[in-house]
């Protein structure tokens, strides 16, 4: 029996800032919002803990993550795809 496809999962794109934990990434997601009083565009950021089952993501990679059921106390997102690899120096 196959699993039904879950519709309506939120996806966001961000940059991996840490891959030190096993099967977990820390992803920085930035968005631009308008200041309510001064109307200037400002940047807001959120750090997400992301479940990475195969340890595919590394620091500097641009990744897409999707919302899922809680995997642990802080992880409620899972890695969907690695969009762009970091440049190897």
pLDDT tens digit string along 38-57? 999 999 999 999 999 999 99
pLDDT band for position 8 (cuts 50, 70, 90): confident
pLDDT band for position 3 (cuts 50, 70, 90): low
The secondary structure of 44-75 as a DSSP string is: EEEEEEEE-TT----TT-EEEEEE-S-SSSSE
Q: Which residues are bridge partners to 15 per DSSP?
A: 28, 62
Does the structure show a pLDDT above 90 at 88?
no
pTM of the model: 0.85
The closest of 6, 24, 21 to 79, measured between CA atoms, is 24
pLDDT tens digit string along 59-83? 999 999 999 999 999 999 999 999 9
């Amino acid at each position: 029996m196959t699993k039904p496809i879950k519709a309506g999962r939120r996806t966001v794109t961000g940059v991996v800032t840490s891959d030190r934990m096993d099967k977990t990434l820390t992803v920085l997601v930035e968005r631009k919002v308008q200041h309510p009083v001064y109307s200037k565009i400002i940047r807001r950021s959120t750090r997400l803990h992301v479940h990475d089952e195969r340890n595919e993501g590394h620091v500097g990679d641009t990744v897409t993550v999707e919302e899922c059921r809680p995997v642990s106390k802080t992880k409620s997102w899972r890695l969907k795809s690695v969009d762009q690899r970091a440049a190897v120096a």
